[in-house]
């Protein structure tokens, strides 16, 4: 659980203990009902439960309809994670001892094949992610992609049948004061519905020294531990955000990642996941003001720059998010139909998914750094290098780009950081960085220590490396 400055991720990692007390009926007195009373009661129940009565009932409000539509797309996530006993708050625990604690959160189905979006802190370090569906079945999930700085993750389950998908809204036109709903696994009470309003927009919320949520929605809807990763809905039942944090000690102050921001991050994560498995030969895409997805550059011989993609296989496509989902699970050599609009003319083409590795050049050290660690770096300018020398460092490499979803991104490394060292070696020059990634000792370990310099502070951590690019020499 990330907690700092009174902000808490709305996903607990402590065992929930709750008691539900039933009303005492031992002193109740009863009288024998007469036949006429029974018949009158039956007639009344029939009238109240008839379809005509339901259709006209003022009880069936917009809130009821929104919950009814959205709740089948909301899942409950739970599992155990190992943390230091002192971090879990166990009194008298040794700093080196670890405990198993229960965690829980919420997720939202974004694809009928079982792809689910949640917060990264819900599934972080959970060995066996368990998902309970709306029909009360529980299945295991696989972590597909995640971004630690953005606190978002995509997991995959095999439900055995298509799942209902949440209906997406937009966070561009939100209004302070408009009613909103939240569905989640609040304190372990599955599928809990709460209601409130949008209290404010564009909130920046610091969590700790290395992470800050940006441009969040503030809401008064009841967000509790276990709501993390669940949807914030507008009154029409459309998802407008992903619930992420609450203000510790406050009432009705909670925060949500806007849906447009969340889906942009999720799209990049899925694209990166797809890119490692197959390619459709489309190197650049952009969305026009009308959200039409157009090809900017195409290596596929049949497509042309300017083609407007309207369908992939059987799936309509309007934006990058829908294209990324359509390309999920494609394997090299698999054929798929792509429909495009070219100058008002409808055209269908059959593309063959390619192997992203076959036929390409051998990876350079810079390629390996980008794929394996997820950074691009450059030597420091002379003045900056002189400042580093004055602080006792031999030098470093300024990070200029981070690959979304990479180990560097997941561990909070940012553009502008100065990379000081990896494992046991310093990174004062590009030559030293290339030597490090080619060193056999680094290739044998799955997790390595790193050091960066940021805002006059030296930071360090451990990152789990991605799959190393295969050399074809």
Bridge partner residues of 311 (DSSP): 316, 339
Out of 111, 150, 151, 272, the active site residue is 151
Terminal-residue alpha carbon distance, the chain: 45
Q: Which residues contact 294 (CB under 8 A, 6 or more apart)?
A: 285, 286, 287, 288, 306, 307, 308, 309
The ranges assigned to domains in the chain are 3-14+73-157, 179-262, 276-352, 365-464
Sign, CA torsion 381/382/383/388: positive
What is the predicted pLDDT for the residue at 356?
67
- Residue-wise pLDDT tens digits, 159-205: 999 999 999 999 999 999 999 999 999 998 999 999 999 999 999 99
What are φ and ψ of residue 106, in 5° steps?
Answer: -135, 155
Q: Is 290 a catalytic residue?
A: no
Out of 121, 147, 268, 406, the active site residue is 121
Q: Which CATH code of 3.10.290.10, 1.20.1630.10, 2.30.42.10, 3.40.50.720 fits the domain covering 276-352?
A: 2.30.42.10
pLDDT score of 144 more than 80: yes
Contact 398, 377 (CB under 8 A): yes
Beta strands in 112-186 (DSSP E): 115-118, 129-132, 138-147, 152-157, 179-186
- Residue-wise pLDDT tens digits, 291-326: 456 666 566 557 777 788 899 988 999 888 998 999
Q: Is 78 a catalytic residue?
A: no
Q: Which of residues 270 and 43 earns the better pLDDT score?
A: 270
Please provide the CATH number assigned to the domain covering 179-262.
2.40.10.10
CATH T-level assignment (fold) for domain 3-14+73-157: Thrombin, subunit H (2.40.10)
For residue 326, count other CB atoms closer than 10 A to its CB: 22
Sign, CA torsion 344/347/353/359: negative
Out of 8, 73, 147, 228, the active site residue is 228
Instruction: Indicate the pairing of strand 212-219 with strand 189-206.
Output: antiparallel
pLDDT score of 20 more than 60: no
What is the predicted pLDDT for the residue at 89?
43
Same CATH fold assignment for domains 3-14+73-157 and 365-464: no
* CATH 3.40.50.150, domain 365-464, yes or no: no
Q: Is 423 a catalytic residue?
A: no
125 closest CA partner among 92, 153, 97: 153
């Amino acid at each position: 659980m990330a907690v700092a400055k009174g902000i808490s991720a709305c996903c607990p990692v402590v065992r929930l203990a709750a008691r539900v007390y039933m009303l005492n009926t031992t002193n109740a007195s009863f009288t024998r009902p007469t036949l006429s009373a029974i018949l009158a009661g039956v007639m009344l129940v029939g009238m109240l439960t008839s379809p005509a009565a339901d259709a006209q009932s003022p009880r069936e409000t917009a809130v009821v309809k929104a919950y009814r539509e959205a709740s089948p797309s909301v899942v409950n996530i739970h599992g155990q994670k190992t943390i230091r006993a002192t971090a879990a708050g166990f009194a008298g625990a040794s700093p080196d001892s670890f405990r198993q604690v229960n965690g829980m959160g919420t997720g939202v189905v974004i694809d009928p094949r079982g792809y689910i979006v949640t917060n990264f802190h819900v599934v972080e370090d959970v060995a066996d992610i368990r998902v309970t569906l709306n029909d009360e079945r529980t299945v295991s999930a696989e972590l597909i992609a995640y971004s630690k700085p953005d606190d978002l993750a995509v997991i995959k389950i095999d439900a055995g049948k298509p799942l209902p998908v949440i209906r997406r809204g937009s966070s561009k036109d939100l209004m302070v004061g408009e009613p909103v709903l939240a569905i989640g696994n609040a304190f372990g009470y599955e599928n809990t519905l709460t209601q409130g309003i949008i209290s404010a927009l564009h909130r920046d919320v610091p969590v700790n020294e290395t992470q800050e949520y940006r441009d969040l929605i503030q809401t008064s809807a009841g967000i509790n531990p276990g709501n993390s990763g669940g949807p914030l809905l507008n009154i029409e039942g459309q998802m407008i955000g992903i619930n992420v944090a609450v203000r510790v000690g406050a009432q009705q102050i909670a925060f949500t990642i806007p849906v447009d921001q969340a889906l942009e991050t999720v799209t990049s994560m899925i694209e990166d996941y797809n890119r490692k498995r197959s390619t459709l030969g489309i190197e650049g895409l952009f969305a026009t003001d009308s959200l039409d997805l157009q090809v900017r550059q195409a290596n596929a011989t049949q497509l042309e720059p300017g083609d407007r993609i309207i369908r992939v296989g059987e799936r309509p496509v309007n934006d990058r998010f829908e294209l990324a989902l359509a390309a999920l699970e494609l394997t090299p050599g698999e054929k798929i139909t792509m429909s495009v609009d070219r100058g008002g003319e409808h055209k269908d083409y059959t593309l063959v998914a390619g192997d992203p590795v076959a036929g390409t050049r051998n990876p350079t050290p810079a390629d390996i750094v980008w794929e394996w660690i997820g950074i691009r770096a450059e030597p420091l300018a002379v003045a900056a290098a002189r400042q580093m020398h004055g602080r006792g460092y031999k030098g470093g490499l300024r990070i200029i780009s981070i690959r979304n979803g990479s180990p560097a991104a997941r561990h909070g490394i940012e553009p502008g950081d100065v990379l000081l060292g990896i494992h046991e070696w310093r990174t004062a020059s590009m030559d030293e960085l290339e030597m490090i990634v080619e060193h056999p000792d680094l290739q044998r370990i799955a997790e390595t220590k790193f050091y960066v310099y940021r805002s006059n502070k030296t930071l360090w951590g451990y990152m789990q490396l991605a799959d190393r690019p295969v050399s074809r020499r």
